[in-house]
Amino acid sequence: MEDVQILLLVPLVLVQIGIQVFALIDLIRRARVKGGNKVLWAIIVLLGGLLGALVYIVLGREEE
C-alpha cells in the first residue's frame, strides 16, 4: 500500500474508532436501552464496527 493511501485511510479509521468509543460511553451512561440488554448492544458496537455503532446510536438509545 502506498504512503498516500495510508494517509487517506488513517482519518477514516480514527473517525470509526471515535464513533465506536462515543457509542460505548453513551451505552455505559444510559440507564436504559431499547431491548433492555446492554451487553448485547456492547457486542453489536464492538463487533459491528462503524455500522454497529451507528445502529446503536440510531436504534438502541432510549430517551430518558
pLDDT digits (tens, 9 = 90+) for 8-56: 899 999 999 999 999 999 999 999 999 999 999 999 999 999 999 999 9
- Candidates 59, 47, 56, 62; CA nearest to 22 is 56
pLDDT band at 64 (very low <50, low <70, confident <90, very high): confident
Give dist(CA 38, CA 17) in Å, integer: 19
Q: Is 1 exposed, middle or buried (0-12, 13-18, 19+ CB in 10 A)?
A: exposed
Range of the domain at 19: 3-60
> How long a stretch of residues is the chain?
64
What's the total number of domains in the chain?
Answer: 1
